[in-house]
Structure 1
Amino acid sequence: MILLGVDYGTKYWGCAVGSSATGHADPLGSLKVIHQEPDWKTLDQWVKEWRPDAVVIGVPLKMDGTPFKVTKKAQAAAETLRDRYGLTVYEADERMSTVEAKDELFDHKGKKALTKSNVDTRSAQIILERWIYMNL
């Protein structure tokens, strides 16, 4: 199964593509969000190119599992993805994915690697790989 991973954000969405067969995800890039809408043109191209069977979107939760204000926005984005692409969209717990992404990027490539795009994209990979490991 091919899966599209999304690290939801109010300013950017990080995206990755992965396979349930390998449990591995690769970066696609970061989508700028303008007026609460991601770069649909680029996302449409990725969906057309990769033809995912489903989408996994990270939903932010506090460490105790309670929602943030932005949690409902991420869940609304999941519904929009379902409607737009007709795909199953799984909501994944994204706790600590950004921290892990920053740590990995810094350890491997130093401070210069900590761009918003790199962090969001790596976070999407982490969210997707965790979801595959836990669910398939």
Structure 2
Amino acid sequence: MDVAQGVLITTGALLFRDALPQGGVLMGLDLGTQTIGTAFCDGGWRFASPGKTLKRGKFGADKAVLEELIRQRAIMGMVIGLPLNMDGSEGPRAQSSRAYARNLATLGLPILLWDERWSTTGAERGLIEQDMSRAKRAERIDSAAAAVILQGAIDALAGGLF
């Protein structure tokens, strides 16, 4: 658990759930080097849906776009993909996600860092099952991966799987 600027940042689903006793809409993020995939869930934590894929730029510009999405959708918390190595250890990409989460703490929302090891693979499989062209899949993979990350987290939060 980490607290940055008085905001909970955790890998613990129970701590995150306790920070949101009334539930609420969550935003999921899949942080790529060039894009940020977004996803959103309903307030009852039943289903996650892909949102926009944002072109990644300077942090201030990215944060402004995320702030607007938070305002528009009345977001109560964020779930950020944590890219662990296959053995569960953390490498440079995981540290980058943790740093991004600390920078987002100024938004004042609790943040859950969620294991995303299979999110892109799962998202790709789902898009292929929809018979989506390779070009369309490339456009939508990051937001679909964000939805996979968020769905995994809300399944654990709603079902009490910690």
The reply to whether TM is greater than 0.5 is yes
In 2: Cα distance, 1:101 partner to 1:38 partner:
27
Counterpart of 1:62?
85
The 5 Å alignment of 1:1-136 reads: 1-35=24-58, 39-83=62-106, 85-112=107-134, 113-115=136-138, 117-136=139-158
The Cα RMSD (Å) is 1.7
Contact 1:29 1:121 in 2 (8 A): yes
Displacement over 4 Å in runs of 4+? 35-38
What is the letter of the counterpart of residue 107 of structure 1? E
Structure 1 residues without counterparts, runs of 5 or longer: none
Distance 1:108 1:38, change over 3 A: farther
Quote how far apart the aligned CAs of 1:69 are: 1.3
| Cα deviation code 1:34-81 (max 9, x no counterpart) | 246663332222111011110000010111101121110101111111
CA–CA distance in structure 1, aligned partners of residues 51 and 132 of structure 2: 21
Q: Is the CA contact (8 Å cut-off) linking 1:31 and 1:38 kept in structure 2?
A: no
Q: Note the alpha carbon deviations across 1:103-136, whole angstroms, 9 max, x for none.
A: 1101213333321x30000001110010011123
Offset at residue 20 of structure 1 (A): 4.8
Structure label with greater radius of gyration: 2
Identity percentage of aligned residues: 28
Equivalences, count: 134
Q: How many Å separate the matches in 1 of 2:45 and 2:26?
A: 11
Does the C-alpha gap of structure 1 residues 60 and 37 become closer, same or farther in structure 2, counting only changes over 3 Å?
farther
Farther off after superposition, 103-112 or 6-15: 103-112
Gap regions ≥5 residues in structure 2 = 1-23
The one-letter code of the counterpart of 2:75 is P
